[in-house]
Amino acid sequence: MEPLQLMVRMNLNAWDAQIKRASSFFNGLSDEELYQEIAPGKNRAIYLLGHLVAIHDGMLSLLGIGNRDYEQLDNAFVKSPDKAVEHLPEPKDLRAYWTNVNDILNRQFNSLLAEEWLHKHTAVSEADFEKEPHRNRLNVLISRTNHLAYHLGQLVLIKK
């Protein structure tokens, strides 16, 4: 494998590993447990599930690799803190969204060539990108992987 491909693959492996851990965690949580807070007065697991679906869905447009499916989740799970929005989607729906969005990302990720990961993401202008070439797709992947690890560290605190 070429060094560049290898580096992309390693970052993709890290993403996959976090997705696998999170999926296995959510699968092991009952619908009831999804409504538990990670710590007293903090976010509930269901909020973090919706939050992660919305943020991952947003990667499709941010990376310029697809259209968003779940933009309607942004209001309850990105723009608002937990418990600010009364009616949340059902656990079974959020679970299906989680699987679906990560499957779509996985397919798109694996269709990109190593060099294409260094293309600019859609939230940076051509002019800025010329000065800041690190504002590319791979950077989004790296930062979203850390975002997922961050929330996973919180989720495992839920008492099962």
Distance of alpha carbon 140 from alpha carbon 133, whole angstroms? 12
Q: Is 79 in the site for a copy of itself (CB under 8 A)?
A: no
Tell me the residue type at 134: H
Within 13 A of 107's CA, how many CA atoms are on the CB side?
6
Nearer to a copy of itself, 93 or 130 (CB): 130
Residue in 44, 95, 121, 151 binding a copy of itself, rule: CB under 8 A: 151
Secondary structure class of 125 (helix, strand, coil): coil
Q: Which stretch binds a copy of itself (CB under 8 A): 27-35, 37-45, 56-64, 105-113?
A: 37-45
Distance of alpha carbon 30 from alpha carbon 21, whole angstroms? 16
Q: Is 18 in the site for a copy of itself (CB under 8 A)?
A: yes
DSSP for residue 38? S
Q: How far is the CB of 115 from a copy of itself (least distance, A)?
A: 7
Q: Is 10 in the site for a copy of itself (CB under 8 A)?
A: yes
